[in-house]
Amino acid sequence: MTSVLAKAKTLSTEACVTTDRPVLRERGQREVFCGLTGIIWLHRKIQDAFFLVVGSRTCAHLIQSAAGVMIFAEPRFATAILDERDLAGLADANEELDRVVGRLLERRPDIRMLFLVGSCPSEVIKLDLSRAAERLSVQHAPDVRILNYSGSGIETTFTQGEDACLAALVPQLPERDNQDAPQLLIAGALADIVEDQFRRLLAELGITDVAFLPPRKSRELPGVGPGTRVLLAQPFLTDTAARLQERGCEILTAPFPYGVEGTTAWLATVADLWGVPRARFDEVIAPAAARARKALEAHKFRLAGKRVFFFPDSQLEIPLARFLHEELGMFPVEVGTPYLNRHQMALDLVKLPAETLVSEGQDVERQLDRCREAKPDLIVCGLGLANPLEAEGFTTKWSIELLFTPVQGFEQAGDLAELFTRPLVRRTRLEV
């Protein structure tokens, strides 16, 4: 029986010769969600942080609507409203921002880190939030650390909000005391339960110096340095990875941890680097992998043979298409992604069928034409396209739900598959 560690090495070799796969690049009208959306899962992850959007009433309504499921707890996000006077340059937006921040921190003494989040309106009027963050940090030090990043949707898709947030955190990470000792840093916001599961599995493999970015508390920022190996848990962290490399970290290339095969290869990348014996690795992951395979079997009979079409929205499209094809027998007709990082996606990209069209960017009208011609069984897309496509008789899946739901790792494999079976089951019931 071939070890999973040996299998992971084979995948790495294959990826080196297949990443030149043809890609259709499109530039035209796009249908993407706003980067401010990332606040919804980030504010749940960093438990003493607050996200202050500097934007319009539309920005406020967006965040409030997206976070409607959390109305039972006081949120840790808000919007500093830019009104007509601010937009016209008739008021000093910086003075008003200073007052808003002062009132906020007085009311919420539990805040230890405050993010000033830029929006489309704040960028249009050239409000320098980086300088504002520096000024306010001096005023409120040492109790509160104030940072900024852009959540604007002018040139980005919605998951890049998390990338921008984590990239802003990287310069704040302290230097590690022992630079030569190997350390694993897992980058990307994970649900606490998923983080705990990964930590337990890694500990059983003998890998105990493990940190996560972002941490659960802002005062628990992990130290980094030349001995830090970074394993990405999310496929959209291009800027974060670049900033970590500048700090001397090594970015590991691995499939993303979706399903049994993805999670196994993701963990195997680390185990191989740390010199974990193959027999020990197989022994540790076997129980969780077996449970995951059993959970997937409950969904495979509904998904096998079905054709799926991905519109570019989240940057999760390629690893999700790999999961659906390799582990559930679906055929990805087209896999569109807003941005393709060939290096980070190499080991997922190599698993897609040669007949699958991979597209980067978007010309929405042309892609809609290809989708209608293909007549897929399931379409994964953003909210703006889902309802019109449903009205045409197609079955759709909101891509944003894949960010709100814990989907990484062995124990979540069945839940991830269910997100794709659910719309098909709904369609079947409606047709009865």
pLDDT at 157: 80
Angle at the Cα of 160 from the Cα atoms of 157 and 164, rounded to 5 degrees? 145
pLDDT at 14: 44
Q: Which residues contact 64 (CB under 8 A, 6 or more apart)?
A: none
Quickly state the pLDDT bin for 86 (edges 50, 70, 90): low
Q: Residue 212's closest CA among 239, 243, 190?
A: 190
pLDDT at 64: 77
User: Distance (Å, rounded) from C-alpha 258 to C-alpha 405?
Assistant: 12
User: Distance (Å, rounded) from C-alpha 31 to C-alpha 29?
Assistant: 7
Residue 19 in this model has a pLDDT that exceeds 90: no
Quickly state the pLDDT bin for 318 (edges 50, 70, 90): very high
Quickly state the pLDDT bin for 243 (edges 50, 70, 90): very high
Quickly state the pLDDT bin for 344 (edges 50, 70, 90): very high
Quickly state the pLDDT bin for 238 (edges 50, 70, 90): very high
User: Distance (Å, rounded) from C-alpha 199 to C-alpha 22?
Assistant: 38
Quickly state the pLDDT bin for 40 (edges 50, 70, 90): confident
Q: Residue 235's closest CA among 151, 169, 335, 320?
A: 320
Query: How far apart, in Å, are the Cα atoms of 145 and each of 76, 150, 163?
Result: 15, 17, 19
CATH class (in words) of the domain with range 35-156:
alpha beta
pLDDT digits (tens, 9 = 90+) for 66-82: 666 544 456 788 888 87
pLDDT at 432: 55
Q: Residue 257's closest CA among 407, 107, 77?
A: 407
**How long a stretch of residues is the chain?**
432
Residue 13 in this model has a pLDDT that exceeds 70: no
Q: DSSP assignment of 224-260, as one string?
A: B-TTEEEEESSTT-HHHHHHHHHTTPEEPP-----HH
Q: What's the distance, CA 196 to chain centroid?
A: 18
pLDDT at 180: 73
pLDDT at 366: 95
Q: Residue 371's closest CA among 423, 303, 430, 312?
A: 312
Residue 227 in this model has a pLDDT that exceeds 70: yes
pLDDT digits (tens, 9 = 90+) for 378-428: 999 988 899 999 999 999 999 988 988 999 999 999 999 999 999 999 877
pLDDT at 177: 79
pLDDT at 84: 62
Share of the chain above pLDDT 70, in %: 90
Q: Residue 226's closest CA among 175, 264, 295?
A: 175
pLDDT digits (tens, 9 = 90+) for 160-209: 999 999 999 999 999 987 777 889 999 999 999 999 999 999 999 999 99
The domain spans of the chain are 16-30+296-431, 35-156
Q: Residue 403's closest CA among 391, 416, 389, 392?
A: 416
Helix (H) or strand (E) holding 419: helix 413-431
Superfamily of domain covering 16-30+296-431: Nitrogenase molybdenum iron protein domain (3.40.50.1980)
Residue 225 in this model has a pLDDT that exceeds 80: yes
pLDDT at 4: 52
Q: To which residue do tokens 């369609």 refer?
A: 427
The whole-number average pLDDT for the span 225-232 is: 95
Quick check: do 16-30+296-431 and 35-156 share a fold?
Answer: yes
Share of the chain above pLDDT 90, in %: 71
pLDDT digits (tens, 9 = 90+) for 208-223: 999 999 999 999 999 9
Which of the given ranges, 19-33, 34-48, 85-99, 310-324, has the highest pLDDT on average?
A: 310-324
pLDDT digits (tens, 9 = 90+) for 251-265: 999 999 999 999 999
* R_g of the chain, CA atoms, integer Å: 22
pLDDT at 11: 46
